[in-house]
Structure 1
Amino acid sequence: MTDPRLAPTSIARRVSHVVTAALLLLIGSVVLPGAQPPDASAKTKSKSSVPRPEPDLKILSLHTAPLPYKPQDGSFHFMATVQLPKEVDEQLMLEVSALVTSSSMTSLRFLSIRQPVNEHVQTIPSANGETPQRHVQVDLAWDGLDHNKQQVPVGSYEYEVRVKLLSNGEKGQRTQMLSWPKRGKILVKN
């Protein structure tokens, strides 16, 4: 038998626990006006969100050749015309990269070129009197080899080309601006 002096305390603790649990259930079950379950609010946000504006760094055009590609005939080329922002720090680096992958992701290759942003810049006058646009032509060549330096098998491959502006920082290069990617397919034949 328990000490009669402790009985009121243990009863008070039990009542306290029951009241706390009841309050938590009550708070958890109350739906605030306009509140939605987490899944529903996440879906609502994505549907009603405003699309992001395209960055000032753009791939204006991307030409790929030769199509279809036969590795024994030479390299496959990604020729990109890149529009630079109106104002750009001359100390930045321009990186153009392409990722070539097979549908099974067993064969892939990453290509990249980095150059000072002011190298090979062409200035195109603006028709409406605004600041002239600055463009750079870049040619990435793929030799038809995968990441293991083996000839890729015949088949369909996908590519994604991106452009970045990089700055030198204390811990290496950092991305300052990133273009939207351009994607497509390459048919590799014998």
Structure 2
Amino acid sequence: MIAALWLSLTASPGLASDENLPIRPFRARILRVVDGDTVWVKNLASGRRVKVRIWGIDTPEKFPSRKLSRDARRCHVDAESIRRLGREASLAAMRLLDRRVVEVIPEGRGYYGRLLARIVIPPDLDFGKWMIENGYACIYRRNREAEAVYGPALRQAETHARGLWRETRLMMCLCR
């Protein structure tokens, strides 16, 4: 009986069995930009709301957190300097994504259990790459595949002091 229940749960099309997270690409509407690397979307097929952590990127912290405190200590700046950059990255994300219909391409589950996914704005604009190439995000440190995909865009943003890279010293610390 338990095995049959497990099979019926895992056979659900497009859903991961453990967290009921989508495992196949789906169309969604952006409902809310939480910060530069996290959004809430509404799956257009199922109607479900899903919190998405953008694959491969990391933006400066916008909200007080342990990570913000660690970054401020490590970079020898006050937390507000980082939060200011975080708010700017969030604003850039909001301007590009707000209420748009996008393609969500799941890549797994993030550290806090959120759906980890690429967001593509039709026809083929990779939101994560856009954030990096325009200087609003770093490559997520623990992701070697993202380094291979986004490395050239990061170096270009740094070289041309785009977006947050006008704060070169701080961004070099945050992105290393």
- TM-score category, normalised to shorter length: under 0.3
Structure number with the higher strand fraction is 1
Taking structure 1 as the reference length, the TM-score comes to 0.21
Is the helix fraction higher in 1 or 2?
2
Q: TM-score, structure 2 length as denominator?
A: 0.22
Which one has more relative contact order, counting CA pairs under 8 Å at least 6 apart?
A: 1
